[in-house]
Amino acid sequence: MKNYLFPVYLVTSFLIIYVTAIQVNLNTGIILFFFSLSPLPVIWMVYKVLTADVEVTSTFEEKWYDDM
């Protein structure tokens, strides 16, 4: 697994657990705790993805409409 995919999977699972806790009407304190923590993993994920060592071989103009 690539290093930048682990934070994406981890934060996505955290947010799915948060949304599920809301839907099953869990304790309000737990939901507010998840809500107050949620910016930290998201910021960590964005940092890890943006600083990942990925080599891009094409330019923006070459891949502008790549759905053909």
Neighbours of 5 (CB within 10 A): 12
Percent pLDDT > 90 in the chain is 69
Residue 35's contacts (CB-CB under 8 Å, 6 or more residues apart) are: 18
Mean pLDDT taken over the chain: 90
- Structural domain that includes position 48: 1-68
pTM tops 0.85: no
- Structural domains counted in the chain: 1
pLDDT in tens, 44-67: 999 999 999 888 888 888 777 766
Average pLDDT over residues 35-47: 96
**CB-CB contact of 18 with 30 (8 Å):** no
What pLDDT score does 24 carry?
97
What pLDDT score does 25 carry?
93
